[in-house]
Amino acid sequence: METRNIGSLEVSLVGLGCNNFGMRIDEAASSRVVDAAIDAGITFFDTADIYGDTKSEAFLGRALSGRRDLVVIATKFGMRVDANRHGARPEYVRSAAEDSLRRLGTDRIDLYQLHQPDPTVPIADTIGALDDLVRAGKVREIGCSNFSAEQLRDARAAARGNAASFVSVQNEYSLLNREAEREVLPECERLGLAFLPYFPLASGLLTGKYAAGTPVPEGSRLSQSWAASRFLSDARLSTVEALAAWARSRGRTMLELAMSWLASRHAVASVIAGATSPTQVRANAAAAGWRLSETDHAEIETILRNR
């Protein structure tokens, strides 16, 4: 497995998103997914306090028992856990970190990410609290998620002197959602930030297992109304079918195309893909090794522009 860097952290090119833990799969199934990920060379595990109603962190921590030093753990804070636990106030940053450390069963969080901007709190105050956690040895690096290019600039300006500053941003990015290319990815290049794409497979649409006129598999993420309304449409299915045909003509799968296309982006440090089974995680881990040529990129671009 190829590795890249997020600040001082060395991570696997394919990461495991743990948002399914405690939501779509139970603890035993989550543990099997973690085992398969490690066996496949995945060392980067991304979760959040809100995933699985806080169960994701607990499941992940127990699954990694005895193997903590072999992996890089990223988690997030800031979205609403309950009426009292949300936001980016300095006092909450500290308490949220302690809660995550306890659930994960670890003494440090490798990458601690602000899950979304909090317009009610000056970013300098939040970064100051995160810097305190770094200085205390409870956090190694800090990052953010769902930030705009302007917010990234503001955050960098707010990190004074030797204070910790964001080393990564995690935003949505895939063959079907390229909003990040407008401003955020160029800003990552300028600031030297690692980019972590979430929903890299558009909630499964880019795995190649969906087709127009075919019922959505029961139990899949796209069988859930929120995911279907966000990702599923005739136009998107048509685009995916055209991309899949192009990949097949080169002896490749849609999954390989989706993962390798993201991995070819210079700022992308790790492609974080969720999984609900060992089979899925093994497929994801093996899918990012296709080295796309300039001609490949041009042909993919033509397909995307013409749909």
Domain range 3-209+254-290, CATH architecture? Alpha-Beta Barrel (3.20)
Model confidence over 233-265: pLDDT tens digits?
A: 778 898 999 999 999 999 999 999 999 999 999
Which tokens sit at 63?
């699954």
pLDDT of residue 160: 81
Active site residue: 51, 112, 173, 198, which one?
51
The answer, yes or no, to whether residue 111 has pLDDT greater than 60, is yes
Model confidence over 169-203: pLDDT tens digits?
A: 999 999 999 999 999 999 999 999 999 999 999 98
Give Cβ neighbours of residue 149 (< 8 Å, ≥ 6 apart). 183, 184, 186, 187
Q: Any idea where the domains of the chain sit in the sequence? A: 3-209+254-290
Instruction: Yes or no: say if 149 and 155 are a contact pair by the CB < 8 Å rule.
Output: no
Measured CA to CA, the distance from residue 53 to residue 82 in angstroms comes to 9
The answer, yes or no, to whether residue 56 has pLDDT greater than 80, is yes
The pLDDT of 62-80, averaged and rounded, is: 97
Model confidence over 279-303: pLDDT tens digits?
A: 999 999 999 999 999 999 999 999 9
Give Cβ neighbours of residue 168 (< 8 Å, ≥ 6 apart). 6, 7, 111, 113, 141, 143, 144, 193, 194, 195, 196, 269
- Name which of 85-99, 102-116, 194-208, 249-263 the model is least confident about: 194-208
- Identity of the residue numbered 143: G
Instruction: Yes or no: say if 10 and 38 are a contact pair by the CB < 8 Å rule.
Output: no
**210 counts as catalytic:** no
Q: Tell me if the pTM is above 0.75.
A: yes
